[in-house]
Structure formats: C-alpha cells, structure tokens
Amino acid sequence: MDTNMPRASDSRLKLVMVGNGMAGMRTLEELLKSAPDLYDVTVFGDEPHPNYNRIMLSPVLAGEQTVEQIVLNSRDWYAQNGITLHTGKKVAKINRQARTVETDDGMKASYDRLLLATGSKPFILPVPGADLPGVIGFRDIADVDAMIRASSEHKHAVVIGGGLLGLEAANGLKLRGMDVSVVHIGAWLLERQLDEPAARLLQKNLEEKGLKFLLQKHTAELVRGESGRVCAVTFKDGETIPADLVVMAVGIRPNTELAESAGLHCHRGLVVNDTLQTFDPRIYAVGECVSHRGIAYGLVAPLFEQAKVCANHLAEHGVARYQGSLTSTKLKVTGIDLFSAGDFIGAPDTESLVFSDAAAGTYKKLVIKDNKLVGACIYGDTLDGAWYFDLLREGTDIAQFRKTLLFGQHHLGDSGHGPAERVAALPATAEICGCNGVCKGDIVKAIRDNKLFTLEDVRAYTKASASCGSCTGLVEAVLAHTVGGDYSTAPSKKPLCKCTEHSHDDVIAVIRDQKLKSMDAVFQTLEWKTPDGCASCRPALNYYLLARWPGEYVDDAQSRFINERAHGNIQKDGSFSVVPRMWGGLTNPSELRAIADVADKYQVPEVKVTGGQRIDLFGIKKEDLPAVWKDLSDAGFVSGHAYGKALRTVKTCVGSQWCRFGTQDSTGLGVKLERMTWGSWMPHKYKLAVSGCPRNCAEATIKDFGVVCVDSGYELHVGGNGGIKVRVTDLLCRVETEAEVMEYCGAFTQLYREEAHYLERTAPWVERVGLAHIKAKVVDDAEGRLALHERFIYGQQFAQIDPWKERAEGSEAREFQPIRITA
C-alpha cells in the first residue's frame, strides 16, 4: 500500500488509541509526520486533561511550574490534526472479534488498528487502612491537586518509598510547608539508582533541607482518625508516627486490566515483540503498560524510542525494530544532582574507580569491565553524566584515558570550551555552541517554546552542537536541566540521518557484504525513506561506495559538497580559494614564479601560506577556476585537495639533509608519503607529518598519521588532531625502514577509510574503536596489514587523476559557466 498518496477520508483506516499520555501521543506525533493521511484517529483518555508532561509533576508540586506550563498537546492541537479526543472517558472493554472498544458509559468506537497506551498505576501496599481518605499515589494531576490541598489544610505528611518518585514528592510537600517523613524499607535511599556512599550523601543533603527519614521500616497499618481520614502510620516494630497525608511511592505496576480482560497475553506488563505488536496483530502497545523482552520501562527515553518504532509500523513502513534501551537516571529535586546508569554496584569480574569527597558533597563511582565502562553512579557534580552514559552506550575502549576517566571529559584536553562550570549556574548569555554561536538562553527558550525533549530536536531548532559536536555534553546538560533531567537521550543506535533507521556501521556492512555498487541499490536494499536522500546521507553514501568499490562505482558529483564538486574552497563571498600541491612542502623558483604569474594574471586579492606549508590563493571567481588550473597545471602543479575530505598535506621539517639534529631524511620521506597517498578520498580530512628528530618541528604528534624519526628508525603515531579539540597522537609502533613506514601508513589509512564513519576524523575514530583494535589489525597481523596496504594502493590508481587538469581540459565545463542573458 502506498502511504504517500493522500486518501479520501472515507477510505482511511481507523486507529483508536486508549490512553492519552506521553508515550501514546508521541507515537501519534511520529505517525502524523510520516503518514498523515493514513488513519482517522480517535483517542480515549480517562483523565480530564489533554496530554501533559507527567515528568514535570514534581516541579508542579514543588510550585516551580504550573499545570498550564506542562501541557504538551493542547485541545487545539488535536483539532488541527483531525484527531477525535475523548477526555474523562475510561475504556472498559475491547471486543476483538467485532474490533470495537467501549467505554464504561457506553460509548463505542470501531478500529482497524488499536494502540494501547494505558500506562501504569501506583502500587498500593496491601496494608489495613490503605483505602482511607488521605492515602494517595503520585501519578497524575489529580494526585498533585490532592497533595497541594492537603498541604494547606494539614501538617504531617508521610511518604512511603525512598525511590525517585518518593523523594520528589517529599521534596515538593516540604516546599509546600508540610512536615515530611520518608519511610523506606531498604538500608539506604534509591538503592536501585545509588550505592550506599552516594545515598548517604543524598540523605544528608535532604536532611539539611528539613526532610526526615525512617529507614528499614516496614509499614504495618494506616490508622483511621476521628474524621474518617488517615491520622497515623504504624510500623511492624510498634512505632507510630502522625500522618494526615500518606503518599504511596513504592513502585508502579503496568496497567494491563483492560488488555487482560480482552484476553491479550500479559506477563508483568502487556507483552509485545520488537515491533511493539501484542499477540493480536491488530493491536499495538507502547509505554509503561508494556513488557518488552521481560522489561517494563518507566522512564521517558525508552518510551519515546518505542513510540518511534511503533509509529513506523503503524505507518506501514515496516522497517524499524525496538531492541530494548539502556537507561540512566537523574533526580528532579532542585539543587541536588545525581546521576546513575548501568551496573554501578559491580560484580567479582569488574573493577571500580571511586572518587569521594564527603565534605564537598561529591562522589563518583565508575564500574569497568574489559576496559569498557559498564556502570556509573555520580552524586554532586553530574555535568559529565551525559559523557559517561555515551561511553557506556557506545562501548568505548577507555584504556587510553583510564587514569583521567574519573575527572571527566574536560581532562581529555578539550580546548573547545572552558572548565566544567555548572550549566545551571551559567548566565543566559553564556555561549554553549561556539560553531553556531548559540547561547544558553537561546537553547532554553527553544526547549520551552517548542517543548523539545531530545538532543536531535534541540539541534534542529537551535543548531547547537550540530556542527563539530564538541559541546554535545553541555547541550545535553542544558536540556536535562531545562526539562527536568528525565530527558530523552539519543537512541542506542544512531541512524545515519533522518532518511533511514540504519546506522553508519549498518550501511558500511551492507555495502560490503551485499556488494551494493550504486546509490540506488543502497536506497532500495535499506528502504530509504526519501527518494534521493538528503544533504547528509548522499555525500556519506557516495564516499562509502567509492571507498569500497574503487574502479567500479562512478563518483556522483551531485552528491558532493560544493567544495569537492568545484575542487576549491568556497569562501563567504562565494569566491573560491586555490591551493596547489607542493610535495612534502618542497618548492623551487620556477614553481613560485608560476604561482606569482597566476596571482598577477587573475588579480588574486590575497596570497597566504597555509598551516600545512602550502600557498593559498584567495578570492578567485568560480568561472575563472578552469583557466587558473590550466596555468598551474602547465607549470606542473596538481590539486592540493585543500577543499576535500581527502589527504591534505604531508608536513615535514628539513631533516638530516640540513639540520644538525636530524636523524633521518624526513623531507624525502614526506615527499614519498605524499606521492603515495595524494588524491585518496577519506571519511574526513587527513593530514600527515614527518619530523626528523624527537624535537618534532613538523608537529607530527597532532596529525592523523605522524612519523617521528629517531636514530634507530621511525616512531609511527596515529589519531592526532590540532583542530577544535586538540588530541595528541597515540604511539602505534616503531619500525626500522622507510619501506615499513610506507606499508604501515598505507594499511592504517586504508583501515580508517574502510571502518570510520563519514565525517569522523581519526581522533574520535581511534577513541571509539580503541587503539588495541587498530594495533591488532595494523601491527600484530602482518598478513592483514599487507592486504590493507594493497587495497589502498589498488584504489589509488583510480584516485590519482588530477581533477584540476581534467577540468582545465574542459570536463564539467557547465559547472563553472553561468548563463548570461539580457532581457
């Protein structure tokens, strides 16, 4: 069925959704984006409100936000999108044979597909008095209203349950002026989110705010007062404390009553498969009511991931799979920062790194297994939480920075932004994203005005962290701080772009394994959502195909950024700059004369020496480019590829030929390396350097591949970067001969070309896959190294064709010729 065709309303399928909460509504929003005309949608919600942000009930209780502020979809929104909304209606029955649902007051609706998003219910302890007035859960706006009312009429509040929700309720009630005791059955608070030392710090902090704690207490009975309302709580040890309000926050249970009554298979939740389908194929389910692979999630991030997958199937695209989520936790109590993720308790086969400063109220514990982070528990300064979560999710090899891991991301030497100031304390004018000039205030405003939840949304609206990405952690921190912490982090597997669900690694593997040799083949095999991709995926696919099938895949000029299509760097006024290649940085009088002649002839406004020891001619009009290239080409120059995701330059020092310290012929080796590697396309720009001695005048240790000559041979360094985020190389190995340098260089370069993601430089790539992986392929496996090197050399025969000469001879002429008309 073609879902792109508009449908007449009478031919539309009927979709009924039961449950008007965040997970269900997110599913509808995703569905409307991709198939707006497929369904007539009817929504039943048993609360009297439109969809609101349940996460923000705690700030509403604390008086920091109002109910109006947390509404996500207004009634107008439903009307504008043609959705029939019934609020205050409880669906009591599903008739699966007739495909209808019926509310408890007799309203009926028929469906072609049914989406159950009935959420969860607070678990109420089965103790005497649990049904008394004044005993409530903490789940919806009605509960918050009841608590606010109680706080103005009564004094003593008891919260049963020292978990996230319980502590947030206790904090809110305290701020409303009540005397609050938290009763907890465990030995410490938040035992599912914190280890004991961190929980003690938290407890101390909350006690300073005036909360009281009763740990390892078992509730025996809720006592009825004279008014009929609850008046006290009695424990199994006989102790009794006064209570005018009891909030049960001991957990939630998936609300599966309706599903069970319809005979749908439930086991600790309504059981769904990876496409969010229940055992009845017409019935889908998302959210807290669902049990997926035995897990019922209660946090918003996994629910939104489910929503995305479910919408994909409801839209009949049929390509997405939900494979479970890793979750992390933050507490929304103003002034208290805690973060945890993964297995932070540890096991016999794990190691722990612990930093504890009780006086400063800071505690960090990181759990490591096989050089990978598997758990984190942080109290106090949680700015690095998002970064740790990323390391955990990506399975990054941390061996290289294990020593500084505890001190956070900034200790990796990130010069892109300042020290780890607390995001919360930053003024609105503080710049978060340097690339796009986005301030904290812009981000907060965009999040509030547009009700954003995800990093991706914030990027789309503000462009913050959309360029170099080094401020991603800060943007996530602003997002977490603004929406209250329980924000949705990026999905566990990042799609290449919005045109597909598949990741870079998936695409690389499919192109290789299924021998896909054209862009159309990729679009078809992987079911691209757009007819011809977008400006993000097309250049990536063009590169992957070119790198994998040299000599077979035909480069697609229309899938290249303008710089690579026009073989020059576009400048802000639309003119171009031209950098001829100078092998190893060597030149001579006749070359310099030729460059000077070109500069004169075309009235080049500015001539500059680049950071990579080449000469840059600025301000050349696009239509003059072919003529400029012809003159340069006649003088023996080829393109310097200063505009490309390609081998840029090989920087050298003078070496043993002239320098009194030089140990080897670094200039000569640099020329040989540049002759071997020039012309090759790469995932990102790629720079080499050769230094003649450990004084390292060519700065080889901040290059993608750097050679440092020593008396006994050559040190090979990889993964350096001198850009936004300075990274010093890792030592790959030492070799003895120039021939070995050439072979290792070719092999490392090819491994990067085959495995890195498009637009990923060697520095983040080496950090992602780990130096051990690279050593295994390039150093330890001699046969594999030779094969990599040979693949590189094979590809070079198709790549080392000077694009300037081709164009000077008339190829692609219309790219450079405007059409001039006088009307």
The 785-814 contact track toward other proteins, x by CB under 8 A, reads -----------------------------x
CB of 558 to other proteins, least distance (A): 4
538 binds other proteins (CB under 8 A): yes
Q: How far apart are alpha carbons 219 and 161 in whole angstroms? A: 10
Residue/partner pairs of 133-137 with CB below 8 Å, 24 or more apart: 133/228, 133/229, 133/230, 134/229, 134/230, 134/243, 134/244, 134/245, 134/246, 135/222, 135/230, 135/246, 135/248, 136/245, 136/246, 136/247, 136/248, 137/247, 137/248, 137/249
Measured from the CB atom, the residue of 225 and 469 that comes closer to other proteins is 469
Question: Closest approach of Cβ 815 to other proteins, in Å?
Answer: 8
Query: Minimum distance from CB of 572 to other proteins (Å)?
Result: 7
Among 775, 752, 754, 778, which Cα is nearest to 765's?
A: 752
Size of the site for other proteins (CB under 8 A): 32
Could you tell me the smallest distance in angstroms from the CB atom of residue 639 to other proteins? Answer: 18
- Does position 660 interact with other proteins (CB under 8 A)? The reply is no
DSSP 778: I
Neighbouring residues of 249: CB distance < 8 A, sequence distance ≥ 6: 122, 137, 138, 159, 160, 161, 163, 165, 166, 169
Which C-beta is closer to other proteins: that of 572 or that of 660? Answer: 572
In whole angstroms, the minimum distance from the beta carbon of 576 to other proteins comes to: 10
Window of 67-75, 292-300, 565-573, 651-659 that interacts with other proteins by CB under 8 A: 565-573
If one counts every other C-beta atom within 10 angstroms of the C-beta of residue 444, the result is: 18
Per CB under 8 A, the segment of 210-218, 323-331, 552-560, 724-732 that binds other proteins is: 552-560
Which range, of 299-307, 321-329, 559-567, 577-585, touches other proteins by CB under 8 A?
Answer: 559-567
Binding flag, residue 81, other proteins (CB under 8 A):
no
- Where do we find the tokens 């003078």? 654
Between 9 and 558, name the residue whose CB sits nearer to other proteins: 558
Cβ neighbourhood burial of 274 (10 Å; 0-12, 13-18, 19+): middle
Of 119-127, 267-275, 503-511, 534-542, the segment contacting other proteins by CB under 8 A is 534-542
CB count, 10 Å around CB of 750? Answer: 24
Question: Which range, of 181-189, 369-377, 553-561, 803-811, touches other proteins by CB under 8 A?
Answer: 553-561
Per-position DSSP letters for 235-247, written without gaps between them: ETTS-EEE-SEEE
Binding test (CB under 8 A) with other proteins, winner from 8, 76, 105, 820: 820
Which CB sits closer to other proteins, 306 or 559?
Answer: 559
Query: What CA–CA distance (Å, rounded) separates 677 from 688?
Result: 10
For 433, the token pair is 């994203």
At position 237, the amino acid (one-letter code) is D
Label residues 578-613 b or e (16+ Cβ within 10 Å = b): bbbbbbbbeeeeebeebbeebbeebebeeeeeeebb
Are the beta carbons of 258 and 116 closer than 8 angstroms?
Answer: yes
Helix (H, G, I), strand (E, B) or coil at 232: strand
The first and second tokens of residue 711, run together, are 């008396």
554 lies in the site for other proteins, by CB under 8 A: no
CB 181 within 8 A of CB 247: no
Instruction: Give the neighbor-by-neighbor strand order of the sheet with 100-103.
Output: 91-95, 100-103, 108-110
The answer to whether 246 touches 232, Cβ cutoff 8 Å, is: no
**Residues in region 388-447 near other proteins by CB under 8 A:** 436
Cα 511 to Cα 231, 519, 522, 559: the distances in Å are 69, 10, 7, 17
Strand, coil or helix: what is 411? helix
- In sequence order, what E strands does 700-816 have? 705-710, 713-718, 730-735
DSSP 8-state assignment for residue 124: P
In whole angstroms, the minimum distance from the beta carbon of 559 to other proteins comes to 7
Min. distance of Cβ 729 from other proteins in angstroms?
31
Helix/strand/coil for 637: coil
DSSP 779: I
Kindly state the smallest distance separating residue 459's Cβ from other proteins, in Å.
10
- One residue of 348, 574, 589, 810 binding other proteins per CB under 8 A: 574
531 binds other proteins (CB under 8 A): yes
570 vs 607, which CB is nearer to other proteins?
A: 570
- Interaction residues for other proteins, span 436-475 (CB under 8 A): 436, 450, 460-461, 463
Stretch that binds other proteins, among 149-157, 315-323, 476-484, 524-532 (CB under 8 A): 524-532
387 binds other proteins (CB under 8 A): no
* 559 near other proteins, judged by CB under 8 A: yes
97 or 558: CB nearest other proteins: 558
535 binds other proteins (CB under 8 A): yes
Q: Between 660 and 814, whose beta carbon lies closer to other proteins?
A: 814
User: Using CB under 8 A, which of the segments 107-115, 293-301, 558-566, 694-702 binds other proteins?
Assistant: 558-566
Stretch that binds other proteins, among 54-62, 80-88, 567-575, 765-773 (CB under 8 A): 567-575
The reply to whether 539 sits near other proteins by the rule CB under 8 A is yes
Q: Which stretch binds other proteins (CB under 8 A): 331-339, 370-378, 529-537, 711-719?
A: 529-537
Residue from 241, 534, 635, 733 that binds other proteins (CB under 8 A)?
534
- Closer residue to other proteins in complex, CB, 415/530: 530
Q: Residue 765's closest CA among 700, 686, 689, 688?
A: 686
Q: Does 162 bind other proteins (CB under 8 A)?
A: no
Q: Is 818 in the site for other proteins (CB under 8 A)?
A: yes
Told to check if 561 binds other proteins by CB under 8 A, we report yes
Residue 570 is a binding residue for other proteins (CB under 8 A): yes
Q: Nearer Cβ to other proteins, position 568 or 662?
A: 568
Q: Quick one: 504 or 538, whose CB is closer to other proteins?
A: 538
Separation CA 106–CA 95 (nearest Å): 13
Please report how close the Cβ of residue 803 comes to other proteins at its closest, in angstroms: 17
Q: Which is nearer to other proteins, 538 or 777 (CB)?
A: 538
Q: Between 629 and 678, name the residue whose CB sits nearer to other proteins.
A: 629
Tokens 């200039």 sit on residue: 667
- Asked if 568 touches other proteins (CB under 8 A), the answer is no
DSSP string, 37-89: TSEEEEEEESSSS--B-GGGHHHHHTTSS-TGGGBSS-HHHHHHTT-EEEET-
Crossing angle of helices 455-462 and 472-483, in 10° steps, is 110
Please select the residue that binds other proteins; options are 79, 142, 557, 739, rule is CB under 8 A. Answer: 557
If one asks whether residue 527 binds other proteins (CB under 8 A), the answer comes out as no
Pick from 741, 739, 763: nearest CA to 752: 763
CA distance 149 to 157: 12
| Closer residue to other proteins, CB minimum distance, 501 or 564 | 564
Residue type, 247: V
- For residues 265 and 565, which CB has a smaller minimum distance to other proteins in the complex? 565
CB of 102 to other proteins, least distance (A): 40
819 lines the binding site for other proteins (CB under 8 A): yes
Tokens of 235: 């424990």
Nearer to other proteins by Cβ, of 372 and 451: the residue is 451
Determine the interface stretch with other proteins among 154-162, 349-357, 528-536, 629-637 (rule: CB under 8 A).
528-536
Answer yes or no whether residue 530 interacts with other proteins by CB under 8 A: yes
The residues of the shown chain that bind other proteins, judged by CB under 8 A, are 436, 450, 460-461, 463, 530-535, 538-539, 557-563, 565-566, 570, 572, 574, 814, 818-823
